[in-house]
Amino acid sequence: MGRLSGKTALVTGAGRGIGRAIALKLAAEGADLVINDLDEGPAAETLAIIEGLGGAARAVVGDVADTEFPDLMIAEAISAFGGVDIIVNNAGYIWNTTIQNTSDEQWAAMLAVHATAPFRLLRAATAFIREAARTETAQRGRPRTRKVVNISSVSGLHGAATQIAYAAGKAALLGVTKSLAKEWGRYNVTVNCVAFGHIETRLTQPLDDGPRSIEVMGRDFKVGLDLATLERIRAATALGRPGSPEDAAGAVFLFCLPESDFVTGQVLECSGGASS
């Protein structure tokens, strides 16, 4: 019996990196999973790993910024596992440039995936959460505790050069977190946020042999950090190293545990003690 047995968790962007590590951590602790990824292949890989460990999981493949996505994700959780207990808004990507080179399309895309998509998924969950809380209160006198963990960034907390659109989206998610914590407290839902610093993923891979990019919906986006930048980050980090996806998943897990049932509206910086 894991710490999360009997609970259903939704994790967006779970096909790779931090999202996959979060999904595997929650599954290892007994949660049933509904995962999402933009691409079918990575989503299927995560499903196979979870099922190989004896867990239960479903996948909803698609763009979290699509207007139909939230209802599909919530409906799958209810259909497959009977409800929703944990929501982790993790999906996202970077599209960096200086402000004079930031287009309206770029600005809108960063806010869509990092702020609007989480808002819509949480809005779509409201009907289930409200009704479940009412039913559980009538039956037991108190609704069960549910959890929301939104994923932000130190860029959203402190800003970052060339990341004005990304940072704006991540900062907006802080406002969503703090506002919804006040609104959903009556349903016994805790709403918290983890802001990551330098975590080793394909977005922060070393550029030791030239530029690299990822494809998102048919468009190539530059990713990675040059070696000089990586060294500056390491030197400014108290622990002297980047975080792993498993480190990141551990921080999210803290907010999913019963021990954090009286913690809400908070932002946890998971950065290895990096100076801003």
The residues annotated as belonging to the active site are 166
195: number of CA atoms within 13 Å, CB side?
Answer: 24
Measured from the Cβ of residue 225, the count of other Cβ atoms closer than 10 Å reads: 17
Burial 135-162 (b: 16+ CB within 10 A, else e): eeeeeeeebbbbbbbbbbbbbbbbebee
Q: Could you tell me the CA-to-CA distances from 20 to 25, 27, 67, 196, 249 in Å, in that order?
A: 9, 10, 23, 15, 9
Judge contact between 58 and 34, C-beta under 8 A.
yes
- Residue that is written with structure tokens 């016994």 in the block: 188
